[in-house]
Structure 1
Amino acid sequence: MTRRLVATGLVVGLLIVLLIRTGIEQANLNRFDRDMGVILTAMKDEIIRAEGGGVALDSFVTQLPGWQQQLETIPPPTNSGYRANLLQSVLQFTVEYGKMADTQPDQARTAEMVENLTQAIAGWDEQLRNGPGEAGHSH
């Protein structure tokens, strides 16, 4: 009887630990999704304003360093490969586009670039909201 109680207690203890760990992991993923969502929404809003060109796109370029700093404070999720890749992609974009905007300001502010940015941000937003889709990356 004592062995049975010990075994049952051990199983219950392991289940509790597993539930707590799963809850913590899910909370971290929810925090990541929320933090990334705020940044992507801000980027999307600026691009929508930039479709008129000129000043609004300058505002987008001006805000890149702030977004980059925010992205750098988001801890990459350890249990979601596609989210970690998404974070890396968006962070790399802010660096590369920022360099291009500094060295080739006319190129960075074209209507074609606005269209490319619109598509890229929409793709990241879709991936954040719906997962990797058919890309096959791990959740």
Structure 2
Amino acid sequence: MTPEELRLVVARLPSRLPLTDELEGRLPGEIAVKKKAWYSTQKQHLMGWLGEYAQKGAYGRQGLDHDARHMYTHFQCAPGLLWLAEGVGVPHHLLIQGVEAIHSAGPSGRTQSAAFRRVVGWNEVEAAIREKLGA
């Protein structure tokens, strides 16, 4: 799956999702300072990130020919990863385990994201996309 294909999937998802909204309301550390971010929802965050994925963009990317899996494994916003997984229909029990992993990971966005991905990897997200959204 290409980043542009993933962006088309993201565009079809609702802006607000309950588990993600709950997580963002009580997450410690750098993610909790969302008020300073340029985006107001995780959908907007991912649409922007994916929209610039084939260019250096705001993140100074080096390689510009990566697939959607690469994006998922390098995105360092745990609420954004949760939002994507929740939106595409990853099984609820995995989402709950992923949220628990985020809370156990400490305040760093990088470690929170890695903890979530250990529970909800790209394979689960891609399978949910293919099954639920027909992408």
Shorter-chain TM-score above 0.5: no
TM-score range, shorter chain: 0.3 to 0.5
Q: Which one has the largest radius of gyration?
A: 1
